[in-house]
Amino acid sequence: MGLPRLSILRAVVTSVLLVSGFAVAAGKPDLSIQGITARMKSGELSESPLFLPGAERRVVFANTEYFAPVRGIVPSGNAYPMAKDPQDLRGIAYEVNGEEFTLEDFLAQQSLLGFLVVRDAARLLEHYAPDHAEDTRWISFSVTKSVTSLLVGAALADGFISSLDDAVTDYLPRLRGSAYDTVTVEHLLQMASGVAWNEDYRDPESDVSRAGVLGGVALTDYLKSLPRVEPPGSHFNYNTGEANLTGELLRAAVGNNASSYLTQKIWDPFGMEHDAIWPTDAPQGGEAGGCCISATLRDYARLGLFVLADGALADGRRVLPEGWITASAAPSSAAPEYGYMWWRYPEGRFSASGIFGQKIFIDPQTKTVIAVHSNAETATGSRYAQHLEAVLMAVSDAMRSKL
pLDDT at position 15 is 36
pLDDT tens-digit series, residues 229-243: 999 999 999 999 999
Task: Calculate mean pLDDT across residues 293-297.
Answer: 98
pLDDT at 8 over 80: no
Look at residue 202 in the predicted model and tell me its pLDDT. Answer: 83
Q: What pLDDT digit, counting tens, does each position of 85-127 carry?
A: 999 999 999 999 999 999 999 999 999 999 999 999 999 999 9
SS3 state at 293: coil
**Quick one: DSSP state of residue 80?**
P
pLDDT at 103 (0 to 100): 98
Enter the pTM of the model: 0.90
Encode 157-166: b = buried (16+ Cβ within 10 Å), e = exposed.
beebbeebeb
Please give the share of the chain, as a percent, with pLDDT higher than 90. Answer: 84
Instruction: Measure the CA–CA gap between 347 and 181, rounded to whole angstroms.
Output: 36
Count other C-beta atoms under 10 Å from residue 207's C-beta: 19
Residue spans in the chain of domains classed CATH 3.40.710.10: 138-401
On the question of pLDDT at 2 being above 90, the answer is no
Over the chain, what is the mean pLDDT? 91
What does residue 344 show for φ and ψ, rounded to 5 degrees? -100, 140
Query: What is each CA distance from 132 to 113, 258, 281, 331, 365, in whole angstroms?
Result: 6, 27, 27, 35, 30
Mean pLDDT, rounded, for 208-236: 92
Architecture of domain 138-401: 3-Layer(aba) Sandwich (3.40)
E strand intervals along 219-287? 276-279
Residue-wise pLDDT tens digits, 39-66: 999 999 988 877 899 999 999 999 999 9
Banded model confidence at residue 10, pLDDT cuts 50, 70, 90: very low
Closest CA to 314 of 79, 130, 122: 79
What is the predicted pLDDT for the residue at 19? 35
State the pairing for strand pair 368-374/276-279: unpaired
Contacts of 214 (CB under 8 A, 6+ apart): 222, 241, 244, 281
Percent of the chain with pLDDT over 70: 93
> β-pairing, 122-128 with 83-84?
parallel
- C-alpha to C-alpha distance for 60 and 186, rounded to whole angstroms: 34
Q: Residue 136 pLDDT more than 90?
A: yes
More confident residue, 215 or 271: 271
pLDDT (tens digit per residue) in 331-376? 998 999 999 999 999 999 999 999 999 999 999 999 999 999 999 9
What's the CA gap between 6 and 8, in Å, rounded?
A: 7
Q: Strands (DSSP E) along 35-160, which ranges?
A: 70-73, 83-84, 93-96, 99-102, 112-119, 122-128, 138-139
Q: Residue 41, exposed/middle/buried by CB under 10 A (0-12, 13-18, 19+)? A: exposed
pLDDT for residue 27: 64
Task: Say if residues 52 and 72 touch (Cβ distance below 8 Å).
Answer: no
